[in-house]
């Protein structure tokens, strides 16, 4: 930090020092470190610069209005080795921005509406019995899973516009606060991504991502176009891996788990029925079912 120049301008140092003592935090700093006027005068230019920077921070309303030379840093004053030293640290606005960036890195919302990023457990409505039961499940999951408990996911089903997607989003946002990685994907569009990634060579990478993520949430399963290949060669291995690795997996759907099995049958052959119900059995092993 450059020292203020006093040699070309007549200043009253006593008035400047008195002005510093009017600042409660600086006054406490002087008292706590038992600093006499000689030490304060020696570092007067630094102290004045510190006060100017600190006052900028007091009145600041965000990074867009930051007046510091380095945006997002605030001054910190310390007395070390019998010297007054000024450091800089990230301000609360910068810390919040960095935390949000970290959260954005933990959650991967694939083909989902922006509203999911604003879903909070605090705003979750528990005005019906199904919602009360779901809320109880969510809170139990958030309490026990970080403690290392093996936890099943949830299969939420019911009519459109009942809050199934919002429910998953609430849980996703709470989990990333705890440092878990989450993929929440609109399943019909994800199926289209599976198909298009075959030609680009990215299918295996995408499958492995869904296998390994801490928490996987598939929204609106059963709403996709039927595909025996997706069911057997993509969804099946993903669910099997997550089942064996005890990785929580969540689903929302307009149909029950039993009805989902019927929906996934591509034809009436016995072998086809067995393949479909093999998927459903994995989903049953991975989840508890609640109708919303």
Nearest to 252 by CA among 172, 189, 163: 163
Question: How many angstroms separate the CA atoms of 163 and 17, rounded?
Answer: 61
Model confidence pLDDT, tens digit, residues 140-186 = 999 999 999 999 999 999 998 899 999 999 999 999 888 899 999 99
User: What is Dmax (Cα atoms) for the chain?
Assistant: 98
Which spans in 107-251 are helix H? 129-144, 164-177, 187-200, 203-212, 228-229, 236-244
3-state secondary structure of 138: helix
Question: Which pTM does this prediction carry?
Answer: 0.67
Q: Which residue has the tokens 């891996």?
A: 241
pLDDT band with cut points at 50, 70 and 90 for residue 6: very low
3-state secondary structure of 16: helix
Burial 7-46 (b: 16+ CB within 10 A, else e): eeeeeeeeebbeebeebeebeebbeeeebeeebbeebbbb
Two structure tokens written together for 78: 């310390």
**Rounded percentage of the chain residues whose pLDDT exceeds 70:** 92
Residue ranges of domains in the chain: 13-90, 98-291
CA dihedral (214, 224, 118, 140) in degrees, to 10, reads: -50
Is the predicted pLDDT of residue 38 greater than 50, yes or no? Answer: yes
CATH number of 98-291: 3.40.50.300
Model confidence pLDDT, tens digit, residues 87-107 = 888 888 877 766 665 555 577
pLDDT band with cut points at 50, 70 and 90 for residue 69: confident
């Amino acid at each position: 930090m450059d020292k203020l120049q006093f040699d070309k301008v007549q200043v009253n140092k006593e008035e400047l020092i008195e002005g510093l003592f009017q600042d409660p935090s600086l006054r406490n700093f002087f008292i706590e470190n038992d600093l006499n006027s000689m030490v304060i005068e020696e570092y007067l230019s630094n102290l004045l610069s510190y006060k100017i920077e600190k006052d900028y921070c007091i009145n600041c309303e965000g990074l867009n209005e930051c007046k510091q030379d380095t945006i997002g840093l605030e001054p910190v004053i310390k007395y070390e080795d019998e010297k007054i030293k000024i450091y800089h640290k990230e301000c609360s606005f910068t810390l919040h921005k960095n935390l949000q960036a970290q959260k954005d890195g933990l959650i991967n919302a694939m083909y989902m509406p922006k509203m999911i990023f604003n879903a909070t457990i605090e705003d979750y409505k528990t005005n019906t019995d199904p919602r009360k039961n779901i809320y109880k499940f969510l809170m139990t999951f958030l309490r026990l899973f970080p403690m290392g408990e093996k936890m099943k996911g949830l299969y939420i089903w019911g009519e459109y516009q009942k809050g199934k997607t919002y429910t998953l989003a609430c849980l996703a946002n709470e989990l990333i606060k705890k440092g878990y990685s989450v993929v929440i994907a609109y399943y019909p569009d994800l199926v289209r991504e599976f198909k298009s990634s075959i030609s680009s060579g990215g299918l295996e990478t995408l499958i492995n991502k869904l296998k390994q993520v801490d928490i996987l949430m598939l929204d609106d399963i059963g709403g996709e176009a039927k595909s025996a290949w997706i069911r057997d060669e993509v969804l099946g291995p993903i669910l099997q891996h997550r089942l064996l690795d005890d990785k929580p997996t969540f689903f929302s759907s307009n149909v029950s788990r039993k009805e989902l099995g019927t929906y996934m049958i591509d034809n009436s052959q016995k072998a086809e029925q067995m393949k479909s119900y093999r998927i459903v059995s994995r989903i049953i092993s991975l989840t508890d079912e609640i109708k919303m």
